[in-house]
Amino acid sequence: MASGIFAILDDLAALMDDVAVASKVATQKTAGILGDDLAVNAEKATGFQSSREIPVLWAITKGSFLNKLMIVPVALLLNAFFPVVIKYVLIAGGCYLAFEGMEKIFHFLFHKKEIEQTGNNITEVLEHQLPEQQEKAKVKAAITTDFILSIEIVIIALGTVLKQPLNIQIITVCIVSVLATVGVYGIVALIVRMDDAGFRLIDKSNDRGIFSKIGHFLVKLLPIVIKVLGVVGTIALLLVSGGIFMHNIDHLHDYLPHIPDIINEAGLGIIVGTAMVVVITLIQTIVKKMKKT
């Protein structure tokens, strides 16, 4: 009897060890998307009254959990009954990530005025809405973005354990999903409260001394942090997408073996992303012309 219990405990220990290793690898693979998720949601969670920042962030966090609650079972079922689909979904997701990364770069380089005008138009629309409507609109937009990114997080996490037993797949994907949500939105909470912490330090120190300087530093640091996260997230999107192509398209896996993987991945992400931007821009142009005629 005792030996049976010890055998079960030994099996559980071995299982958890395998899960820990698999979760570590899966978390590393999804780090790029988490960086983009962090940057996007940090930006969307700012601009509210101080008293509403945490409630808004909590609403987005709950939406993120619901997103993953829907996505995880579907991904596991696809892997169980149509495993070949996972590979193509990963590649399709890689194309989307590459497109998103290069679209941001092209817009930054060639459409600054357009971005500013779009931002002004959005601001004008929001100004005519009630605060509750503005809040709901931003929360809805953040949850929608999170849904798209969550699909990639779950599938990439699942892609790292495709050769593992089903129980390890389920536990690993669930752990990564929870860690992704808690980690991202926990850090976002710290970021959006950075300026409030700075203002409190300034107020309590009567705007004098070292604490006042720290407060001013925190207030000025917030927009810089958000911009840096945006840049890092964009680079990470290209690297993650390139990594997806390299590991899921056989002909690319051993292509240019003497060049470091990070350069190959960045190059693939840029090439595919640029092609996607060109194709989608052409389609949009054709659709606009057809509507005019």
Q: What is the mean pLDDT of residues 69-78?
A: 88
First to last CA, the chain: 81
3-state secondary structure the chain: CHHHHHHHHHHHHHHHHHHHHHHHHHHHHCHHHHHHHHHHHHHHCCCCCHHHHHHHHHHHHHHHHHHHHHHHHHHHHHHHHCHHHHHHHHHHHHHHHHHHHHHHHHHHHHCHHHHHHHHHHHHHHHHCCCHHHHHHHHHHHHHHHHHHHHHHHHHHHHHCCCCCCHHHHHHHHHHHHHHHHHHHHHHHHHHHCHHHHHHHHHHHCCCCHHHHHHHHHHHHHHHHHHHHHHHHHHHHHHHHHHHHHHHHCHHHHCCCCCCCHHHHHHHHHHHHHHHHHHHHHHHHHHHHHHHHC
Structure tokens at 157: 């996490």
User: 146 near 64, Cβ under 8 Å?
Assistant: yes
**pLDDT value, residue 31:** 63
Structure tokens at 206: 């009567």
pLDDT level of residue 274 (50, 70, 90 thresholds): very high
Indicate the average pLDDT of the chain.
Answer: 75
Domain spans of the chain, in order of start: 2-186+224-292
The residue count for the chain: 293
Number of C-beta neighbours around residue 187 at 10 A = 15
Structure tokens at 142: 């953040």
Q: Using one digit for the tens of pLDDT, what is the confidence trace for 24-49?
A: 555 666 666 676 667 666 666 666 66
For the entire predicted model, the pTM comes to: 0.67
Residue 177 has pLDDT above 60, yes or no: yes
Q: Using one digit for the tens of pLDDT, what is the confidence trace for 114-167?
A: 544 444 443 444 444 446 777 777 788 778 777 877 887 888 787 777 777 777
Percent over 90 (pLDDT), the chain: 4
Structure tokens at 243: 């990594």
Q: Using one digit for the tens of pLDDT, what is the confidence trace for 96-116?
A: 888 888 888 888 887 655 544
Q: Which residue is it, tokens 């001394």?
A: 209
